[in-house]
Structure 1
Amino acid sequence: MPEIPVAAGPEVRLHVTISEGSGTRTLLVVHGGPDWDHTYLADPLLGLADLRRVVLPDLRGCGRSTRGLADDQYTPDAVVADLTVLLDELGATDVDVLGFSYGGLIAQRLALAAPRRLRSLIIASSSVLPVPADAFAGWAERDERRAAEAAVWSDAAFDGPELTRAAALAGAPANVWRPDALAEYRRRLAAVRFSAEWMRSWRAGTLPSARPEDAARRLAAADLPILLLHGRQDMVFPAALAEEAATIIPAARAVVLAEAGHMAHVDQPQAWSAAIRAFLI
């Protein structure tokens, strides 16, 4: 698990987990949060090591990567620059990229910034299209499941990484659809090294949007194979947007898993992994 320098002035080093296996091409995984780390995605992605060298970095400010930067150093563009250098340092070309949740927005930016570096793009539990304000209108169960997390964010008793952790734990019933998957998800959360570096500018309203402008049209023009992988009961990004994006982008296809929420890889790990494996072969 090396630490790889990707920027100077100020110096940024990314902590990276790299799979051991027979895969020679690279699958770069961009985690969400962003104040999380990559560990909640390691299973089942490390199980693809027979197909790809799986590379899971902690983004700047996250996990075991460099923290303590000025707030204006935490931006989507800075992360894209970090990941581009990381690929250079690893000698990775013709790369498959998987972005999860917030990381799905970053992955789109990377694909648009360096389309010739990518072989394919997997957008998991995220969205190419903007989420309409009324996307979840009338979904009472979502309101009930998300209430506990909303209460944590407004509770002055929490601050810093403990706020990020408390919100993640409170939001577990909203992010995992199947009750029998909750214990496994909470086990994963217990191992995440949460931070609060990105939170400051996010709460202040100064964090630049990670969503690329006019992403659907631009990704269609890039003619890059895209898998839109989603849970039907996702309460963060509506599954219908993945299906709609697949009708707009000729090289994209949507796989929407039943009985799966935002953390579809926890709700339906075998089906989620199988969809990725079929796409990469």
Structure 2
Amino acid sequence: MWTETFLTTCVDPQVSLFVAQTAGGADNAVLVIHGGPDWDHSYLREPLGELAGRHCLILPDLRGCGRSTCGLAADQYTPDAAINDLIALLDTLGVARADVLGFSYGGLLAQRLALTAPHRVRRLIIASSSVLPLPENAFQDWAERDRRRAAEMAFWSENTLSGPELTRQAAIAAAPANVWQESALPDYLARLRRVRFSAEWMRPWQTGSLPSARCDNAASRLAASGIPILLLHGRQDMTFPVALVEQTTTLIPAAHAVILDGAGHMAHIDQPARWITAVAEFLDN
């Protein structure tokens, strides 16, 4: 079902993105932007693969991630560089306009893509992410979140790892907070074992030189763009609070929100059937 290839998106420096793609024409393309950012796209292949045959799915690894070009200078890992890669990727594939789904950090990049090149984005899905910035007290008095994040917090205070193994073990430690359904945890951990983690973006992040992926005045600018928007979120998301989704719909009246009960940050793993149904209905509308 998936074809895999490397496509050049930048010549100075030389950057090639690893891209997984399903069959289909350029007129029904769906560009999927993974999160992390030091992950790859593989944890999103399912249930998105269910859309194959109806949509041409395009799942790249961002620069510095997965099997895409790594080893660049730290200042080459920026949100704008990632957006330029994605626009170049669409050009190479002959895709004039795409539906865009951004997950978590990828949701921030998807917003940036829509605001940088609105003529390239047909519809926008912001999944497990946020248009609005997080307030400092976003998760105040949520004891269950504190309990689930205990292992992750202990990891960061005690770890001596570096490089991709640091990213991998951090993801494993955070798993109980990212997946709400205990029954879904084994599947999630199995996906993490298949992810090709990197630590390229962590380098500028650790030195404080990584620019924010969040766009200024994103809500008002997205509202003015007229791009149809789906906000797809788990009610028990412990990374981006669901309250921000509800606030966003008041600022972008045309945005449609689907909030899945019994789902955490990895809502597509907690509630795969309901998640992919929401995506499909929005894309087919």
Shorter-chain-normalised TM-score: which range?
A: over 0.9
How many Å apart are 1:248 and its aligned residue?
1.0
Structure 1: where are the runs of 5+ without partners? none
How many Å apart are 1:157 and its aligned residue?
2.0
Q: Secondary structure at the match of 2:151?
A: helix
Q: How does 1:53-68 map to 2 (within 5 A)?
A: 53-68=56-71
How many Å apart are 1:21 and its aligned residue?
5.6
The answer on 1:157 being equivalent to 2:157 is: no
Please say if residues 26 and 95 of structure 2, whose CA atoms lie closer than 8 Å, have aligned partners that are also in contact. no
Please say if residues 23 and 50 of structure 1, whose CA atoms lie closer than 8 Å, have aligned partners that are also in contact. no
Spell out, residue by residue over 1:58-90, the C-alpha distance to the aligned partner (whole angstroms, 9 max, x if none): 000000000000000000000000000000000
Identical pairs, percent: 62
For residue 127 of structure 2, what is the aligned residue in structure 1?
124
For residue 220 of structure 2, what is the aligned residue in structure 1?
217
Q: Return structure 1 stretches of 4+ with deviation > 6 angstroms.
A: none
For residue 89 of structure 1, what is the aligned residue in structure 2?
92
**AA of the residue aligned to 1:280:** L
The answer on 1:266 being equivalent to 2:274 is: no
In structure 2, C-alpha distance between the alignment counterparts of 1:23 and 1:113, rounded to whole Å: 20
In structure 2, C-alpha distance between the alignment counterparts of 1:197 and 1:144, rounded to whole Å: 30
For residue 250 of structure 1, what is the aligned residue in structure 2?
253
Q: Secondary structure at the match of 1:154?
A: helix
Among 146, 151, 155, the residue aligned to 2:149: 146
Please say if residues 22 and 50 of structure 1, whose CA atoms lie closer than 8 Å, have aligned partners that are also in contact. no
In structure 2, C-alpha distance between the alignment counterparts of 1:23 and 1:262, rounded to whole Å: 30
Spell out, residue by residue over 1:31-80, the C-alpha distance to the aligned partner (whole angstroms, 9 max, x if none): 00000000000001121112210000000000000000000000000000
How many Å apart are 1:19 and its aligned residue?
1.2
Q: Secondary structure at the match of 2:149?
A: helix
The answer on 1:199 being equivalent to 2:193 is: no
Q: Secondary structure at the match of 1:207?
A: coil
Among 45, 49, 63, the residue aligned to 1:42: 45
Q: How does 1:232-243 map to 2 (within 5 A)?
A: 232-243=235-246
Spell out, residue by residue over 1:174-196, the C-alpha distance to the aligned partner (whole angstroms, 9 max, x if none): 00000000000001000000000
The answer on 1:278 being equivalent to 2:281 is: yes
In structure 2, C-alpha distance between the alignment counterparts of 1:187 and 1:245, rounded to whole Å: 34
Q: Secondary structure at the match of 1:129?
A: coil
Greater mean alpha carbon deviation, residues 14-23 or residues 95-104: 14-23
In structure 1, C-alpha distance between the alignment counterparts of 2:19 and 2:193, rounded to whole Å: 19
In structure 2, C-alpha distance between the alignment counterparts of 1:266 and 1:143, rounded to whole Å: 21
For residue 167 of structure 1, what is the aligned residue in structure 2?
170
Q: Name the Cα RMSD after superposition.
A: 1.1
Q: Secondary structure at the match of 1:2?
A: strand
In structure 2, C-alpha distance between the alignment counterparts of 1:262 and 1:23, rounded to whole Å: 30
In structure 2, C-alpha distance between the alignment counterparts of 1:19 and 1:96, rounded to whole Å: 14
**AA of the residue aligned to 1:11:** Q
Spell out, residue by residue over 1:162-217, the C-alpha distance to the aligned partner (whole angstroms, 9 max, x if none): 01000000111000000000000001000000000001111221110000000000
**AA of the residue aligned to 2:110:** A
Q: Secondary structure at the match of 1:151?
A: helix
How many Å apart are 1:94 and its aligned residue?
2.3
